[in-house]
Amino acid sequence: MDRAKTTTLTGAEIVVRCLQEEGVEYVFGYPGGAVLFIYDELFKQDKVKHVLVRHEQGAVHAADGYSRSSRKVGVALVTSGPGVTNAVTGIATAYMDSIPLVVITGQVPTQAIGLDAFQECDTVGITRPIVKHNFLVKNVADLASTIKKAFHIAATGRPGPVVVDIPKDVTQHACEFHYPDTVHMRSYNPVRKGHAGQIKKAVQLLLDAERPFVYTGGGVVLSDASVELRELVKQLGFPCTNTLMGLGAYPATDRQFLGMLGMHGTYEANMAMQHCDVLLAIGARFDDRVIGNPAHFAQNPRKIVHIDIDPSSISKRVKVDVPIVGNIPDVLEDLLKLLKGSRGKDISAWWKQIDGWRAKDCLRYDRKSPIIKPQFVLEKLYEVTRGEAFVTSDVGQHQMWAAQFYKFNEPRRWINSGGLGTMGFGLPAAMGVQLANRGATVACVTGESSIQMCLQELSTCKQYRLPIKIINLNNKYMGMVRQWQEFFHGNRYSESYMDALPDFVKLAEGYGHRGVLVDKPGDVEPVLREAFAAKNDLVFLDFITDQKENVYPMVPGGKGITEMILYEDL
Amino acid sequence: MRHIISILVENEAGALSRIAGLFSARGYNIETLTVAPTEDASMSRMTIVTSGSEDVIEQITKQLNKLIEVVKVIDLSEAEHIERELMLIKVRAGQKEREDMKRMADIFRGRVIDVSDNTYTIELTGDTRKLDAFIQALDQGAIIETVRTGASGIGRGNRVLRV
Ligand SMILES: Cc1ncc(C[n+]2csc(CCOP(=O)(O)OP(=O)(O)O)c2C)c(N)n1
């Protein structure tokens, strides 16, 4: 204990010391005037490694991917003004998916704040609605305790990004350094244990259920409750679905798993969601992409138990009968204890009904197509990587197909921007994933439009030798936009066609990587095998896919979840 | 339904904008908002008068509680409470109107706190309805200027909001 031993450090030194104290491995960042003193201190040490991105959006997405795949808090560092505004998309992305990040932003010197100084922006004001919390540190004496709080707030309760804005002069000023061991905040004390009485009620409902269904979301992944979830679902013998954010929490290859639900969920998952009599919702939030129209969802009577760490997620869009606020693993453990030995009702009739829905085979597609079908690429990706890859994705059709066709058996393997739906997320997120999991197989599933939104990070991948495999499903369209235009806008493909696409193979080569163009179905598997065998190389695979392929099933916006457009309807 | 919500919040720069921002971002309405430090200078107490369905009010209190700097929130209108608002109102009061105006202020227990040749400034406290009633009772042409603080509220009897 060297608590008594205090040292005088500058603000910049304090920032770096705090990161060391937090055990931060990587900081993803980009320098600039306001953070030069911090960069100077980073230079003088080698505990905290800095990853130089090519755009601040990439820094935050990389920190985000790092966090999602490692359970640790991701850290990004950007300069004031444009550094911050470039980071905003990344911060909002993390906020919507509840990802714990600490984003350190430079600010103009305190005396200059409010005077429209060069590279000044109101960082706290701009980021306020997209952070769990933010701080402006005006006094170096508050710096260490603020950073401590930032890590604490980011990682506890419902996680989320925290911004710490540090004026340049604060990084120059010195004070005694002391990093607190603990944080005490009278206004912030997230609960852990669920209410015992509510848990008892939940158990009764589950045991009396005739058509039970377990619906889980990103909360199960974030709280690492996958083990408890599996035990619960197995013990009860209930069918289970995961949201887009929850994939991998329950093994996709298990018979009790009905696939993802929602706008592009499976027929069986959506039907079971609508027709169940007892719904156990865990770490999910009944959002519009999941239950569609809440009035339609409410047409079928059912009892709902909802477990979530965030009370404001409960009864927000859907009224709930048994709300349980608590940390999911704690609540599930209590549930399991109470369930010990008891068996629920015989639900074989319900399973029979579900198997009937399953028989629709709603993810069917044309396997004899002479043009590469995107679904086929993803099936092969799954096979070639034996389901063990970390898969990041961008946003669009390719994202939905990846979610449908790559069977995630483990949590934290599927990394995508579900809440904000940020095109450009996939590649920088994959960098963070690869750094958190050196030696692991990392694939970035993307589209020719999305990949161009953070393409510059190919350069970062080269610098840090990140052997990501880019699976570009190139349909020359903003496919998801085109699909909506086909379904809902009379085939008027307004500005969704990408003319003058780059030659992605040459582009990859330009950045010092390998690129391969694949345009025949027969080449898909061998090319994938070869690419994934190249353990040290980033390989950019440009798959020329069917331009007219659509994602099925699809629940049109504002419709009920059983009002699906199916492949066979067309 | 009208609700009156009391909030204890850390007295930190930006706390007010967080709360105001929450209301605008989520489309909740604010009829009035008052804020000032409490006896403990590290904390401010805010009173917000809002309206919405039960579901909306439930979300408002949950969302407020979620803000890191918010220490405590109660919906005062859930139980017995007292509510007061202060109004300063400047009215025309020439020789002809003076007496009437004074009488009217007396009926509402208002006090004349400033006088000029042709105006009175009246101070009036009460709940929102009483202040509205006073304005209604005046000849509209007589009103020159009004300023109201918005409601502050406190629970009756043993019902308290403190840490
Ligand atoms: C930053 C951003 N801008 C716009 C959108 C709207 N959007 C959603 S999907 C999509 C098309 C994506 O096209 P592509 O990356 O080629 O994927 P595909 O749908 O063809 O698989 C667009 C433009 C978005 N999600 N993010």
Helix axes B98-107, B128-137, angle to 10 degrees: 160
Residue B163 is nearest to which of A133, A186, A188, comparing CB atoms? A186
Average pLDDT score over chain A: 97
Residue A396 CA, ligand 1 centroid: distance in Å:
5
Q: What pLDDT, in 10s, does the model give residues A441-455? A: 999 999 999 999 999
pLDDT-derived band at A6, boundaries 50, 70, 90? confident
- pLDDT at res. A43: 98
- pLDDT at res. A343: 82
> Rounded mean pLDDT of A273-279?
98
- The beta-strand segments (E) located in A7-156 are 7-10, 26-29, 49-52, 74-78, 101-107, 133-136
Question: Is the Cβ–Cβ distance between A342 and A206 less than 8 Å?
Answer: no
Ligand 1 closest atom vs CA A399 = 21
List the single best residue of B16, B55, B62 to mutate versus A (max A Cβ within 10 A): B62
The H-or-E segment that residue A289 falls in is: helix A288-291
CA atoms within 13 A of residue A158's CA, in its CB half-sphere = 28
Sheet holding A133-136, edge to edge: A49-52, A26-29, A74-78, A101-107, A161-167, A133-136
Q: What percent of chain A has pLDDT over 90?
A: 97
Residues in chain A: 570
Residues of chain B contacting A129 with CB distance shorter than 8 Å: 21, 25
Res. A137: pLDDT tops 70: yes
Distance CA A170, CA B39 (A): 32
Q: Return the residue matching tokens 């755009």.
A: A55
Q: Return the residue matching tokens 């304090």.
A: A14
- pLDDT at res. A5: 61
> Residue A24, Cβ neighbours under 10 Å: how many?
19
B102 touches chain A (CB under 8 A): no
Q: Which of A309-313, A341-345, A470-474, A480-484 has the lowest mean pLDDT?
A: A341-345
Question: Is the Cβ–Cβ distance between B156 and B81 less than 8 Å?
Answer: yes
Q: Which of A1-10, A166-175, A529-538 has the lowest mean pLDDT?
A: A1-10
Residue in chain A closest to B59 (alpha carbons) equals A312
Question: Is the Cβ–Cβ distance between A532 and A441 less than 8 Å?
Answer: yes
Res. A413: pLDDT tops 60: yes
Residues with CB under 6 A from ligand 1: A 394-398, 421-424, 447-450, 473, 475, 477-481
Question: Is the Cβ–Cβ distance between A339 and A203 less than 8 Å?
Answer: yes
C-beta pairs of A121-126 under 8 Å, 24+ apart in sequence: A121/A80, A121/A81, A121/A84, A121/A85, A123/A80, A123/A84, A123/A163, A123/A165, A124/A163, A124/A165, A124/B14, A125/B17, A126/A84, A126/A85, A126/A88
Question: Is the Cβ–Cβ distance between A431 and A468 less than 8 Å?
Answer: yes
Q: Return the residue matching tokens 């010391």.
A: A17
Residue in chain B closest to A310 (alpha carbons) equals B66
Q: Which 3-state string (H, E, C) describes A337-382? A: HHHCCCCCCCCHHHHHHHHHHHCCCCCCCCCCCCCECHHHHHHHHH
- A200 Cα to chain B: minimum distance (Å): 24
Strands A469-474 and A49-52: unpaired
Pocket test for ligand 1, best of A400, A448, A478, A548 (most atoms within 8 A of CB): A478
Residue A315 is nearest to which of B17, B58, B65, comparing CB atoms? B58
Residue A544 CA, ligand 1 centroid: distance in Å:
17
B75 touches chain A (CB under 8 A): no
Res. A1: pLDDT tops 70: no
- pLDDT at res. A570: 58
A139 touches chain B (CB under 8 A): no
Residue A453 CA, ligand 1 centroid: distance in Å:
10
- pLDDT at res. A550: 97
Q: Which 3-state string (H, E, C) describes chain B? A: CEEEEEEEEECCCCHHHHHHHHHHHCCCCCCEEEEEECCCCCEEEEEEEEECCHHHHHHHHHHHHHCCCEEEEEEHHHCCEEEEEEEEEEEECCCCCHHHHHHHHHHCCCEEEEECCCEEEEEEEECHHHHHHHHHHCCHHHEEEEEECCCEEEECCCCCCCC
- What contacts A515, CB < 8 A, 6 or more positions away? A504, A505, A506, A507, A508, A509, A539, A540, A541, A542
Q: What pLDDT, in 10s, does the model give residues A13-68? A: 999 999 999 999 999 999 999 999 999 999 999 999 999 999 999 999 999 999 99
Give me the active site residues of A, please: 56, 118-119, 168, 480
Residue B9 CA, ligand 1 centroid: distance in Å:
41
Taking CB atoms and an 8 Å limit, are A316 and B59 in contact across chains? Answer: yes
Residue B71 is nearest to which of A128, A153, A186, comparing CB atoms? A186
Residue B3 backbone phi and psi in degrees, to 5: -130, 150
> Rounded mean pLDDT of A374-393?
98
Res. A4: pLDDT tops 60: no
Which alpha helices (DSSP H) does A385-425 contain, by range?
Answer: 397-405
- Look at ligand 1, atom 5, and give the residue with the nearest C-alpha: A423
Closest among A26, A71, A34 to A52, alpha carbons compared: A26
How many secondary structure helices (H) and strands (E) does chain A include?
Answer: 22, 20
Pocket test for ligand 1, best of A450, A484, A486 (most atoms within 8 A of CB): A450
Say how far residue A352 (Cα) sits from the centre of its chain: 34
- What contacts A412, CB < 8 A, 6 or more positions away? A68, A69, A70, A71, A221, A248, A390
User: Taking CA A312 as the corner, what is the angle to CA A311 and CA A314, rounded to the nearest 5 degrees?
Assistant: 70
Residues of chain A contacting B71 with CB distance shorter than 8 Å: 186-187
Q: Is A223 exposed, middle or buried (0-12, 13-18, 19+ CB in 10 A)?
A: buried
Q: Does the predicted interface ipTM exceed a cut of 0.85?
A: yes
Which chain A residues in 165-194 lie under 8 Å from chain B, judged by CB atoms?
A: 185-188
